[in-house]
């Protein structure tokens, strides 16, 4: 078991059409409007940017993102990550049920810390790092749901779940 290797997988179910969910997830600059842990989103160019993230634990991460796949027809958004985290993340958005009014978002991530302090603390704090990520994903789902329904970023009334796999 490598304590510095993290694989996450989560499913968000949202009361919004897949096209609206995809558009919101594609607009990384808007993430701070609805995802409380995303403190800043900077665009470098059309295919890359940088996120500043801070969840419950008292550290912030600066993560460079480079788009590696943007496929609206398949509902796939994928990015390579570098900096304080190295690896990749992917959102796959699909209609959920008849009528197209609901969506299912599959989130997948495979990452390793780039920050030396996080690598050194991985063994004793591995469960806390995973819990921190779970809270961030829960709040991201709630925030996106509220954002898409015009309810603000507090995330009231969102449905879905997130899980982390190791």
Domain boundaries, the chain: 6-161
Question: What would you measure as the largest C-alpha separation in the chain, in angstroms?
Answer: 49
* pTM score of the predicted model: 0.88
- Please give the structure tokens belonging to residue 112: 């390793």
Q: What's the first-to-final CA gap in the chain, in angstroms?
A: 9
Cα torsion at 36, 40, 43, 44 (round to 10°)?
-140
Q: In percent, how much of the chain has pLDDT > 70? A: 91
How far apart CA 45 and CA 76 sit, in angstroms, is: 20
- Band (pLDDT 50/70/90 cuts) for residue 69 is very high
Rounded CA gap, 65 and 96, in Å? 28
- Record: fold of 6-161: Alpha-D-Glucose-1,6-Bisphosphate; Chain A, domain 4 (3.30.530)
pLDDT at 151: 73
Q: For residues 50 and 63, is the Cβ–Cβ distance under 8 A?
A: yes
Q: Give tens-digit pLDDT for 70-110.
A: 999 999 999 999 999 999 999 999 999 999 999 999 999 99
């Amino acid at each position: 078991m490598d304590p510095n290797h993290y694989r996450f997988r989560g499913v968000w179910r949202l009361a919004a059409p897949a096209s609206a969910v995809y558009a919101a997830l594609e607009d990384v600059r808007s993430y701070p409007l609805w995802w409380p842990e995303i403190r800043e989103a900077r665009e470098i160019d059309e295919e890359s940017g940088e996120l500043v993230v801070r969840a419950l634990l008292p550290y912030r991460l600066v993560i460079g993102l480079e788009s590696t796949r943007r496929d609206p027809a398949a509902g796939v958004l994928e990015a390579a990550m570098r900096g304080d985290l190295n690896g990749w993340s992917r959102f796959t958005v699909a209609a959920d049920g008849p009528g197209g009014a609901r969506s299912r978002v599959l989130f997948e991530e495979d990452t390793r810390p780039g920050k030396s302090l996080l690598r050194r603390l991985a063994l004793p704090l591995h469960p806390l790092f995973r819990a921190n990520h779970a809270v961030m994903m829960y709040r991201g789902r709630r925030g996106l749901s509220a954002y898409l329904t015009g309810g603000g970023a507090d995330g009231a009334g969102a449905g879905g779940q997130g899980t982390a796999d190791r």
